[in-house]
Chain A
Amino acid sequence: MKAKAKSSAWKTHIDGATILVALSGDWVARTDGVELGVAAKFIKPSVRALKFDTAKIGHWDSALIAFLLNIRRAAGQADVALDYGGLPVPAQRLMRLASDPAAASPTKRPSTFLDRVGLQAIMIGTQGVEATALVGDILLRGAAALFGRASMRGVDLVDAMYDAGLAALPIVTVVGVLVGGILAFIGATELSKFGAGAYVANLVAIGMVREMAALMTAIIMAGRTGGAYAAQIAAMEGAEEIDALRALGIPVFDYLILPKVLALSAMMPILYLYGCLIGIFGGLCVGAATLNVTAMSFFVEAQQSLTGAEFALGLAKSLCFGAFIAVIACHVGLRAKRSAAAVGAAATTAVVIGIVGVIALDAVFDLCASVIGV
């Protein structure tokens, strides 16, 4: 007898071309030492038939079935006839019920590296086309909305504007003050070395108005609002709420997408202006603390350093950033698969694309501004 670990055990007796496998002890799956894959040891070339003796078997569960399925698979490959007569009747029923996992055709073909590259390329292309179509839809429906011909609900727009505007003020305030303060601190440290500490106000004002207010606000909104949009739409997709809209003939763009895109596009410039103000205030606080600059002189310096073009650039950026974040978030949400995991994945994707895209767009804006001399 070949003892197995713990209680399950088997022994074999060969009689001519027939092998008798006698099982004893408990065959319970969660018992340590139950060995399931020993079938190959039974199936010798000389064996043509296999029988079982389970007179001494104790408790058993799916471990016995897994053991028997392994034998069945090996016997099938070696053309050995199996006789289940010696098995407990319930086990015989389960063996009839269980189809062979190995014999079943896999429902997914293993993909090669080239397959995956090709599929990825097709997916990226498809996404590009779909995103372009979405932008087109938004432009068309947005124009219709301006003339009052979109079936968008006003209350949805107001809700979205509140969420993307007023509700975002606390975080914009915190980040704006800190960024303005950091700019002033760096300026005070470095510019003082050259006796140019008085230009801290210029640094903070231009830094915030041209770059940081628009960029930081956009990054905040990509993380906060873009992620929320994508998660909400993905969850609705998973719960078939969007299918319900489509089935009833309610335009998904008008009801779901347009309010979000319009709200974020409208609120971003306002948040940008607020971010400028609060950032300059943060700079003033640090400037006053480190350089003994008065508020009046700080604001005068800041005012003199700024032109309308700086604000126009910042406003244009923030408008584009807002629209970009909303479009990407809605696009990602609409493409989400129908599962709980897809909701998290959609939110992550929307945030990552939103932040990276905003930074890339910012670089393009700066390049263009440099070319046209703004």
Chain B
Amino acid sequence: MASAAPPSPMLEVVGLAVGFGETVIQHDVSFRVESGSIFAIMGASGSGKSTLLKALIGLLRPMQGSVRIAEEDYWAASEARRGEIDQGLGVLFQSGALWSSMTLAQNVAFPLRMLSHLDKASIKQLSEVKLSLVGLAGAGGLMPAELSGGMVKRAGLARALSLDPAILMLDEPSSGLDPVTAKRLDDLILELRDGFGMTIVLVSHDLPSLFAICDDGVFLDGQSKTAIAHGAPSRLRDECRHPIVQAFMRRERPATDTDISGAPHDSR
């Protein structure tokens, strides 16, 4: 959106603990996501990145801590208010999660159909815009089952953009894609951020994507179950001395698999 960026962070996580039942997956996680930035939630497989994302998008109530979206405490809000806040969040799920009984155009139009009072013609035009922005113009009649992996991601992105969200959450956007397709998707994410000025939170362990597009980030560790580094992925690669972060950024195993000691790092 073309308006001036608000001075406060678009998203702020304070002392968050997430888990299932009695099992804590991550605890004491705090970070700020500035408006218009692309923020990475990094970490190895199983470190709790997607679980944390669930708490950010309202699918999992945190055990502790707060998620503040545009200065409003999401989980302290009423259910009705959370529903309104949700409309400002666009989510691209790892699998695309397209509704299989609908065409692509219907997938993109459905949120507008359900949550706006726009007439059919306007909804159709807005859906076409979203599909054309992600390079799927003319593909609106296809069913999700007919798409390639890259198309599924782009269609999922178009649906995530359906309500013109202020924050876009992307869960492993480049997983399962070849390097060229992943690069195209990275470029598309950058274009959409620059075009709409939206804030993007990206969960990934795809290093080239992280280095290419992210301005800031947090690194989650699955063994200590908390954030062990903050900063842009490229800066963490160059500056962070934490053995787990170093090993991750260089695609190496730690000196020993039990060698996980290291002081928390902040490259912000």
Task: Count A-B pairs with CB separation below 8 Å.
Answer: 121
- Nearest-neighbour CB distance to chain B for A238, whole angstroms, equals 8
Q: Does B14 contact A (CB under 8 A)?
A: no
| Residues 37-95 of A contacting B (Cβ, < 8 Å) | 37, 57-63, 65-66, 69-70, 88, 90-91, 93-94
Across the interface, name the chain B residue whose C-beta is closest to A96: B191
Contact B164 A97 (CB under 8 A): no
Contact B2 A65 (CB under 8 A): no
Interface segment, A99-107, A124-132, A306-314?
Answer: A99-107
How many chain A residues have a CB neighbour from B under 8 Å? 41
Contact B129 A69 (CB under 8 A): yes
Contact A337 B129 (CB under 8 A): no
Interface residues of B, Cβ cutoff 8 Å to A:
1-3, 100-101, 112, 115-118, 121-122, 125-126, 128-133, 135, 137-145, 161, 163-164, 188, 191-192, 194-197
Interface residues of A, Cβ cutoff 8 Å to B:
28-30, 32, 34-37, 57-63, 65-66, 69-70, 88, 90-91, 93-94, 97-101, 103-108, 337-342
Enumerate chain A residues within 8 angstroms of B191, measured Cβ to Cβ: 93-94, 97
Contact B128 A94 (CB under 8 A): no
Across the interface, name the chain B residue whose C-beta is closest to A339: B100
Enumerate chain A residues within 8 angstroms of B145, measured Cβ to Cβ: 337-339, 342
Enumerate chain A residues within 8 angstroms of B137, measured Cβ to Cβ: 98-101, 103-104
Enumerate chain A residues within 8 angstroms of B132, measured Cβ to Cβ: 69, 98-101, 104
Contact A90 B3 (CB under 8 A): no
Known: A34-B122, A66-B126. A90 touches B116 (CB 8 A): no
Give the complex CA separation of A229 and B147 in angstroms.
27
Give the complex CA separation of A91 and B112 in angstroms.
21
Enumerate chain A residues within 8 angstroms of B128, measured Cβ to Cβ: 66, 69, 101
* Most chain B beta-carbon neighbours within 10 Å: one of A103, A104, A338: A104
Q: Which of B100, B161, B164 contacts A341 (CB 8 A)?
A: B100
Across the interface, name the chain B residue whose C-beta is closest to A63: B126
Contact A104 B122 (CB under 8 A): no
- Nearest-neighbour CB distance to chain B for A83, whole angstroms, equals 19
Known: A98-B129, A339-B144. A104 touches B164 (CB 8 A): no
Across the interface, name the chain A residue whose C-beta is closest to B144: A339
Contact A101 B142 (CB under 8 A): no
Enumerate chain A residues within 8 angstroms of B141, measured Cβ to Cβ: 106-108
Give the complex CA separation of A200 and B81 in angstroms.
67
Enumerate chain B residues within 8 angstroms of A61, measured Cβ to Cβ: 1, 164, 196
Across the interface, name the chain A residue whose C-beta is closest to B190: A93
- Nearest-neighbour CB distance to chain B for A60, whole angstroms, equals 5
Beyond A36-B122, A66-B125, A338-B145: 19 further Cβ-contacts under 8 Å? Answer: A30-B116, A30-B118, A32-B117, A36-B126, A59-B2, A60-B2, A61-B196, A62-B130, A63-B126, A65-B129, A66-B128, A90-B195, A90-B197, A93-B194, A97-B133, A97-B195, A100-B132, A104-B137, A337-B145
